[in-house]
Amino acid sequence: MAPAAATAAKWSGKPPALPSLLLIRRVDASFAAGLRQRFRVLDFFASGEPLPAFLAAAEAPRAALGGKRIGIIGLGNIGSLIAKRLEAFGCVIYYNSRKPKDSVSYRYFPSVHDLAVESDVLVVACALNKDTRHIVNMDVLDALGKDGIIINIGRGANIDEAEMVRALKEGRIAGAGPDVFENEPEVPAELLSMDNVVLTHHVAVSTSESRGDLRDHTIANLEAFFSGKPLLTPVLP
């Protein structure tokens, strides 16, 4: 039985060629508001959060992704794919790498500090070596600033994790999205209780498609190696 508010609504009409199941109704605002309230109540119970925290999260300010300046540290295979996806959302892409890449038009920064100054979000996507250990340190975090967000999908030790925790606690950066941690599998206890931190556990590869790609790349690299050909995905020292 349709609610009275719905039955009272006028139909917008549909071409006779459409099947009868494809009905598009216009309902009045009071019906939509009631429906929204019911789903919000269900959402609250499903979340398990205390009510004040739930309401605060619902009212928290949000920003559009489009137009944000994204600084990527390490424009390799993964960094390039991140840039391509973010560019589709209208983001402005900057990057730091060993050297400028002629194949892209993104603005290059030889200094990670200068990259952070110009970025709203800093994404760490580089390998870990002696040059990139703690490539994001106190100076870089302070350059990113109180409105900046740091995301690390590279290796935990690319960031000075203790300094990142301090910067978050002191409000020197706005938030963080670590996908890796400096002392795996240990996660700093402070991060677990922070509302401005989203923790993930490095499982982007855990899809059937990704595992298939990994298998194919491994086989192709082995075939290239034993045939004396260049590797498809060499790891540079």
pLDDT digits 0-9 by tens, 8-53:
444 444 454 444 444 444 444 444 555 455 455 656 566 666 767 6
Q: Which of 155, 161, 163, 182 is catalytic?
A: 155
85 and 177 fall within a common domain: yes
74 and 182 fall within a common domain: yes
150, β-bridge pairs? 122, 176
What mean pLDDT is reported for the chain?
A: 83
Enter the pTM of the model. Answer: 0.72
- Answer yes or no: 202 catalytic: yes
For residue 12, is it within any domain?
no
174 and 78 fall within a common domain: yes
187 and 90 fall within a common domain: yes
85 and 155 fall within a common domain: yes
122 and 218 fall within a common domain: no
Q: Which of 36, 38, 184, 186 is catalytic?
A: 184
Report d(CA 37, CA 62) in Å as an integer: 21
For residue 168, is it within any domain?
yes
Q: For residue 160, what pLDDT is reported?
A: 98
Q: What are residue 222's phi and psi, to 5 degrees? A: -65, -45
Q: For residue 46, what pLDDT is reported?
A: 61
Q: Which of 69, 133, 172, 202 is catalytic?
A: 202
144 and 182 fall within a common domain: yes
For residue 198, is it within any domain?
no
Write out the residue range of the structural domain in which residue 34 sits. Answer: 30-60
189-231 pLDDT, tens digit per residue, is 999 999 899 999 888 777 888 888 889 989 999 999 999 999 9
Lowest mean pLDDT of 9-23, 72-86, 134-148, 215-229, name the range.
9-23
For residue 17, is it within any domain?
no
Report d(CA 116, CA 70) in Å as an integer: 9
164 and 122 fall within a common domain: yes
216 and 101 fall within a common domain: no
188 and 75 fall within a common domain: yes
Give the rounded distance of the alpha carbon of 115 from its chain centre.
18
For residue 209, is it within any domain?
yes
82 and 179 fall within a common domain: yes
Instruction: Identify the residue with better confidence: 16 or 57.
Output: 57
Number of domains forming the structure of the chain: 3
Contact residues for 185 (Cβ-Cβ < 8 A; gap 6+):
none
- Answer yes or no: 113 catalytic: no
